[in-house]
Structure 1
Amino acid sequence: MIETEEQKIVDEVIASRRSIRAFLPTPVARDEIQKIIEIAARAPSGSNTQPWKVYVLIGEVKQQLSDEILQAHNNPHSAYKEEYHYYPVQWLSPYLERRRKIGWDLYSLLGLGRENKAGMHAQHGRNFIFFDAPVGIIFTIDRVMQQGSWLDYGMFLQNIMLAAKARGLDTCPQAAFTQYHQIIHKTLNLSDQEMVVCGMSLGYADTTKIENTLVTERGTSIVKFV
């Protein structure tokens, strides 16, 4: 089968998308961000419910949220917990091995050994400054929505990342923010009906940073023809 140019372009955008963990301070135009979100909203959703709500953080509010979450992150006595389980309560193979591998692959690039707990803690804390990206995004969903709407939300998030990549921008989706949903609710003045889904960094990748050379593996036996 001969690939068309359109297929090649789409495949390249999908294959080149990666989670970037170091960004340049280069600003991203607001109309560019708006266009990315508008085109991403063409994602399918059950009965066209469109369950996504998007908060784009730039400047002072972004800095305020980062400062408040980092303070909690660095406080050994803080007791913030996730509002929902992103990861399984009990890990099984092969998921545990995959999770460990990406963690150690990243820390190895950064020169962080297993004994360097402070270094790993600091690296995890970079989530909360959006890895220095000029744009931070927080996504929420109405509490009445059920599991199907979360599936819809995933397609919307993927659309954002691909639309950004097609424009020369990079992203990092971040479940780390869910632990601090209480701080996010207060800082962004969310309604009681809103639940934090995740965060996302958006900007231009800093290609000089070694962490951005990380390329994760993908399974080779995920398809079964029956």
Structure 2
Amino acid sequence: MSAPEETVVVAGPVDGSSRKSIDSLIAGRYACREFSDRPVQRRTIEEILRTARFAPSGANIQPWCVYALAGASKQRVSAALLEAHRNARDEHVSEYKYYATELPPPYLNRRQEFGRLFYGSLGVAQTDGEARANQTAKNYIFFGAPVGLIITIDRRLETGSWLDLGMFVQNVMLAAAGRGLQSCPQETFAKYHRILRPLLSIPDEQMVVCGISIGCARQTTSARLMPRADIGEFASFAGFDE
């Protein structure tokens, strides 16, 4: 028996109000690091993923896999990761490099500014290793969010599929924002792939890329902490005045 055909609703032209809403979702998204314990239903996460899957991907490969966690399952994962972080974090390393070994300007300057702003907002000195480790540990309880996602990609794929995966992750966060939820993408879960693999039955060919915390923010944020470069720093234009 063949599977039933899926109905896909194709949006019409975007009007001014819709465009403003989309722009507001993108500009208003931030990495939430303090969630409330208000539950998020499975059907909401399914809706988010059902929307996010329409991210573009080369040749429609769709290279993403998602492990969604809540309740006792999330707590078991958190407990194992916290144990490793506290007692054996030097024994774990990600299977991929997130940052270049030597960051050239302006990227190094931006990373240094992030450290100053982020830890400064928490009242943590950048030289205080223990306080920084305690802050990092909050990642592994998904910052208190009721839902955590672990995102993987098939290691046999090439760099282009990572581009596709990034668009999928962005779609997940925007679809969550469209439902009044906040999120936080977290590369640090990749470090503990050896722990996550047996807990979530992740096959050997899948590489852990990141996690995403999803839930309601504990409090609204009135101002963006991290600045963004203006378009003059990263874009050039040609032919528009011809």
**SS of 2:39 mapped into structure 1:** coil
Match of 1:203 in 2: 215
Deviation at 1:197, TM superposition (A): 1.1
Deviation at 1:64, TM superposition (A): 1.2
Asked if 2 retains the 8 angstrom alpha-carbon contact of 1:72 and 1:78, the reply is: no
Task: Using the aligned pairs only, state the percent identity.
Answer: 43
Question: Partners of 1:7 and 1:25 in 2: how far apart?
Answer: 32
Match of 2:65 in 1: 53
1:1-226 correspondence runs (5 A) = 4-75=16-87, 78-207=90-219, 215-220=225-230, 221-226=233-238
Asked if 2 retains the 8 angstrom alpha-carbon contact of 1:106 and 1:214, the reply is: no
Deviation at 1:77, TM superposition (A): 6.6
**SS of 1:61 mapped into structure 2:** helix
**SS of 2:68 mapped into structure 1:** strand
Q: Which amino acid aligns with 1:217?
A: P
* CA deviations over 1:104-156 (Å, ceiling 9, x no partner): 21111111123322111100111111101000000111121111110000111
Q: Which amino acid aligns with 1:218?
A: R
Question: Partners of 2:89 and 2:57 in 1: how far apart?
Answer: 41
Deviation at 1:84, TM superposition (A): 0.4
Asked if 2 retains the 8 angstrom alpha-carbon contact of 1:136 and 1:201, the reply is: yes
Deviation at 1:93, TM superposition (A): 1.1
RCO higher in structure (CA 8 A, sep ≥6): 1
**SS of 1:137 mapped into structure 2:** strand
The structure-2 alpha-carbon separation of the partners of 1:158 and 1:46, relative to structure 1 and needing over 3 Å to count, comes to same
Q: Which amino acid aligns with 2:33?
A: R
Give 1 or 2 for the bigger CA radius of gyration: 2
* CA deviations over 1:180-204 (Å, ceiling 9, x no partner): 1111112111111111111010000
Normalising by structure 1, we get a TM-score of 0.93
Asked if 2 retains the 8 angstrom alpha-carbon contact of 1:105 and 1:214, the reply is: no
Question: Partners of 1:109 and 1:35 in 2: how far apart?
Answer: 34
Q: Runs ≥4 in structure 1, deviation > 4 angstroms?
A: none
Runs (5+) with no aligned partner, structure 1: none
Question: Partners of 2:52 and 2:176 in 1: how far apart?
Answer: 10
User: How many equivalent residue pairs?
Assistant: 222
Q: Which amino acid aligns with 1:7?
A: R
Q: Which amino acid aligns with 1:15?
A: A
Q: Which amino acid aligns with 1:83?
A: E
Q: Which amino acid aligns with 1:168?
A: G
The structure-2 alpha-carbon separation of the partners of 1:96 and 1:32, relative to structure 1 and needing over 3 Å to count, comes to same
Deviation at 1:76, TM superposition (A): 5.3
Deviation at 1:44, TM superposition (A): 0.7
**SS of 1:74 mapped into structure 2:** helix
Q: Which amino acid aligns with 2:112?
A: R
Calculate the aligned-residue CA RMSD, in Å.
1.6
